[in-house]
Amino acid sequence: MLPKKYTWLILLSLISINEALRILVWFPLFSKSHNILGKGITKHLLEAGHEVVHVTSIPQKTPVPNLTEIDVSTIEKKFKEDAEKYEHFKLKNLVGKKNFGDSLFFLYMAYEISRLSLEDETVQKFFADPMQEFDAVILEWFFSDYIAGIAPLYNCPLIWVGSTEAHWQVLKLVDDIPNPAYNVDLFSLASPPLTFWERVEELWTMVKKYVVINCLVVPFEKRMYNRIFSEIAEKKGIALPSYDDAVYNASLLYLYSHPSIGTPFRLPQNAKYVGGYHIDTKVKPLPKDLQKIMDDAKEGVIYFSMGSNLQSVDMTENMRNSLLKMFSKLKQKVIWKFEDDLKNVPENVHLVKWAPQQSILAHPNLKMFITHGGQLSTTEAIHFGVPVVGIPVFGDQYVNMKSAEDKGFGISVKLAEDMADDILAAVREILNNPIYKTKAKELSAIFHDRPMSPGQELVFWLEYVVRTGGAKHLRSPAVQVPMYQKLYLDLMVVLVLAFAVLWTVGKKVIGKRKVVTISKSGKKDKVN
């Protein structure tokens, strides 16, 4: 038995090793799905014994030990004040429209959300509080870079979170821009291997976006970065780094995706897949009414939900009536997440204003999931091995469903007034062809086959970053190289100048030789 003094030394060393960290988690977006991701991170950090300050638009109703929430729900109210802008998100107004993720409006929206959250009075007071200290800052990247200025205020490591499939706009924060010959844009429907014209289109898309972002967006972001953070840094006695130094100073990038679902991108050492961390390790029991419906469904159940941001209640009357008529033709029970009451609902259709999605997907009687194709929904579908029929509407939903089709566990249907027949055809194809269910189960096995769970991996890498003082040894050297050097534009200039000099010198030498030749021959020809 060890002497008592040695026992105390061991205990003290263990306490120092397992000392709780204080983490700032920044997820202010007023979207339920993004809030789920933010809460998932805080949940895993709290379970690991750390203290968390969570900036959120949807705070929890009851206090949680070691969790402080900063409520920024006012940004949603301010955003909704412009009703015309908010109408862009209504389902009935998105029929037949281009993906607005590719629009300038989308970039403006992302900039405005960051601005409103940073300028929030509660957030400003929090930033100004000299007593606030953190070991790391976790920021959700949502198409806006200048929030990177938060980390320097606390002189601690920065960790980005990419809440979609990996793509060049988020990967450039920690590495080089991926080659567009085999890495498509987030909103592209192409998939490698690309044809000649697809490669041209991907290159053009990347160049166009890069120019637009750097010429239109970045100047505004730099001004906002200096306006918001300079004064706070000065009061704190901190030397604020330049915009570029702050943006490209990340220690780590979490990617909410996984190769089993999306594209197996080539990642730098400090980018980690953590897709699925929000999914509960233990499935919660279903409410009694839903449990009975699913247990008693002899032909199985089809679950239909358009997610948390899009709502089925915003469909046109013709669209929802045609869907109800279509569902009535099926032998299966249909659970439809619909946010209001409806009359004349078929006997096999059950409307629920709120649905415990993970618990429904986990039930053995579930046949398929009709979804909008959001990142969380497709991830949950593969987690539970469920095939999908997707109705992508905007953002990354198109690329998610394209991936589902390519990998063989889903069918995509175009959002339209008359889409009921297409959905019926897709539903019957999945019901009658077992390959979709088989593929979903195969990919689910791959998704789960990891050295540790995504939640455990998330915590491990956070602690590793803090433990190693920012994990600088994992950072890609590409972030320190300007774009003109990556493209060897300086070499091209040198070669052009060298060629110009050689051309000029050669021209003069040839001219002199002509003069010498003329003088020797004794002729007096005109020399140009």
Taking only the tens place, the pLDDT of each residue in 435-462 is 999 999 999 999 999 999 999 999 999 9
Q: Taking residues 124-134, what's their average pLDDT?
A: 95
Q: Taking residues 333-344, what's their average pLDDT?
A: 92
Q: Around Cβ 152, how many Cβ atoms within 10 Å?
A: 21
| pLDDT of residue 8 exceeding 50 | no
Q: In 416-450, which positions are buried (b, 16+ CB within 10 angstroms) versus exposed (e)?
A: eeebbebbbebbeebbeeeebbebbebbbeebeee
Say if 192 falls within a structural domain: yes
- Please provide the average confidence, as pLDDT, over all residues in the chain: 90
DSSP conformation class of 248:
T
163 and 296 housed in the same domain: no
End position of a domain, from candidates 431, 448, 465: 448
> For position 486, what pLDDT does the model report?
86
- CATH code: domain of residue 75: 3.40.50.2000
Q: Taking residues 58-67, what's their average pLDDT?
A: 94
Closest CA to 369 of 416, 405, 421, 334: 334
> For position 394, what pLDDT does the model report?
87
167 and 138 housed in the same domain: yes
Of 14 and 428, the one with more pLDDT: 428
Strand partners, 241: none
| Band of residue 509 on the pLDDT scale cut at 50, 70, 90 | confident
Say if 10 falls within a structural domain: no
The distance in angstroms from the start CA to the end CA of the chain is 103
Say if 193 falls within a structural domain: yes
Say if 207 falls within a structural domain: yes
Bin 471: left if φ > 0, else alpha if -120 < ψ < 50, else beta. Answer: left
435 and 368 housed in the same domain: yes
308 and 228 housed in the same domain: no
206 and 158 housed in the same domain: yes
Q: Taking residues 64-74, what's their average pLDDT?
A: 95
Say if 61 falls within a structural domain: yes
End position of a domain, from candidates 448, 465, 492: 448
DSSP conformation class of 354:
S
Say if 359 falls within a structural domain: yes
> For position 451, what pLDDT does the model report?
95
206 and 326 housed in the same domain: no
79 and 223 housed in the same domain: yes
245 and 149 housed in the same domain: yes
Query: What are the tens digits of pLDDT across the range 157-171?
Result: 999 999 999 999 999
| Band of residue 96 on the pLDDT scale cut at 50, 70, 90 | low
Say if 361 falls within a structural domain: yes
Q: How many domains, in total, are found in the chain?
A: 2
Say if 39 falls within a structural domain: yes
| pLDDT of residue 344 exceeding 90 | no
Give the Cα separation of 374 and 368 in Å (integer): 15
Q: In 157-181, which positions are buried (b, 16+ CB within 10 angstroms) versus exposed (e)?
A: bbbbbbbbbbbbbbbbbbbbebebe
221 and 294 housed in the same domain: no
Domain range for 259: 20-279+453-475
Give the Cα separation of 6 and 8 in Å (integer): 5
Tokens 């379970």, residue located: 47
246 and 312 housed in the same domain: no
| Strand stretches in 163-285, DSSP E | 252-255, 271-273
Give the tokens for residue 129.
């509080």
307 and 195 housed in the same domain: no
Q: Taking residues 115-128, what's their average pLDDT?
A: 95
Query: What are the tens digits of pLDDT across the range 382-399?
Result: 999 999 999 999 889 999
> For position 11, what pLDDT does the model report?
43
Give the Cα separation of 6 and 16 in Å (integer): 15
117 and 232 housed in the same domain: yes
